[in-house]
Amino acid sequence: SFFHLKLENKTKGKLQRQICQVVLNHFEKQYTKELGDAWTGVRDVLTHPLCWQYAVLFNKFSWSLELENTLCLKGYHPLFQETLPYLPASLKCYISRTPGRFPAQKHQPGKLKDYYLLNAASLLPVLALEVKDGEEVLDVCAAPGGKSVAILQCAYPGNFHCNEFDSLRSRWLRQTLESFIPTPLINSVTVSNLDGRWIGDLNPELYDKILVDAPCSNDRSWLFSTDIHQATLRLMQRKELSSLQLQLLRSAVKALRPGGSLVYSTCTLSKAENSDVINLILNSCSNILPVDISDMGKAVSQEFTLLGGTQQHELLVLPEKGKAWGPMYVAKLKK
């Protein structure tokens, strides 16, 4: 069938992608040290795109029973079946144990899409944020828009500010929002392309909830860098990422109302960009406290493999075969 043909061609493309040895060697050194034995299993998933998995996030604004039936026939099941500390009934996501990707929907102007394909672990920062109706919400680095769309599946913010500094990615973000969010609601969403490091000064103590899904060394895509020079440059500049992440977090802290909470997330395993950044913030901002998210961790431990021995305010999702979600680091703080 056409569906299978399309999937096969996509798969062939994935198969032909070459592992970038420079990046793998770098990860090998760093992650063997940081993750120990866990790295071997993670490396197996990251270097084999054929075992990657994609979740199907429903769009409640364009809901169809037909989609749910189709997914069930294909062996998908709802992702969150446990009782989570925060799980709006309107957030529906389906996953399958087997690798592969449900076909994506084409963008059609004026027509809402029914679902969004994503790494299931991307929903954890959104669930940790616990957005309630009427709140002022900021997504600092919002493109391509999956987490923004997920936030709007959970609640109706009073104002939702989606920001993306990169102008190309910002256009992509706008298109994503237009494909998923109906007209009256999209009016309560503000899309900007400011430098996230200045938002705290521009909008001090304005927001109840802030998501900082920071630019990071994206372990999955870096491993398949086609340009060796770009890969080498990325690895050299990797150290500078943590200072950018720190600046974005400091800005978010300024923009947060007292009593408000902030979630920081990345899609890297790197301690320098995860725990180290959060520890620096906790040690340097006397008005910031860690928030225990271990309940959420316990509730999702059936579907996600989490690194053991992390602090109560953080989670690190490790991809493994059959649960190829992540890498995803999540930490929660409050002012």
Q: CB burial class (10 A; 0-12, 13-18, 19+) of residue 224?
A: middle
Q: How far is it, in rounded angstroms, from Cα 296 to Cα 35?
A: 22
Annotated binding residue at 37? no
3-state SS class at 179: helix
Does 143 carry a binding-site annotation?
A: yes
Single-letter residue type at 310: T
Cis peptide leading into 327, omega within 30 of 0?
yes
The closest alpha carbon to 292, from 266, 315, 269, belongs to 315
Is 72 annotated among the ligand-binding residues?
no
Is 309 annotated in a binding site? The answer is no
Residue of 20, 93, 267, 285 marked active site: 267
| 195 carries a ligand binding annotation | yes
Contacts of residue 259, Cβ cutoff 8 Å, sequence gap at least 6:
208, 334, 335
Kindly state the DSSP code that residue 323 receives in the 8-state scheme.
B
Exposed/middle/buried for residue 16 (C-beta within 10 Å: 0-12, 13-18, 19+): exposed
Angle between helices 275-284 and 228-255 (to 10 degrees): 30
Q: Are 257 and 206 in contact (CB under 8 A)?
A: yes
Q: Quote the DSSP letter at residue 79.
A: S
Annotated binding-site residue? 164: yes
Verify whether residue 267 is a known catalytic residue: yes
Does the annotation place 134 within a ligand binding site? no
Is 166 assigned a ligand-binding role in the annotation? no
CA atoms within 13 A on the CB side of 261: 18
Do the beta carbons of residue 249 and residue 277 sit within 8 Å? yes
The answer to whether 214 is a known ligand-binding residue is no
Count of residues for the chain?
A: 335
Known binding residue 51? Answer is no
Q: Are strands 189-192 and 159-163 parallel, antiparallel or unpaired?
A: parallel
- The residues annotated as belonging to the active site are 267
Q: Residues forming the annotated binding site for S-adenosyl-L-methionine?
A: 141-147, 164, 195, 213
Q: Residues forming the annotated binding site?
A: 141-147, 164, 195, 213
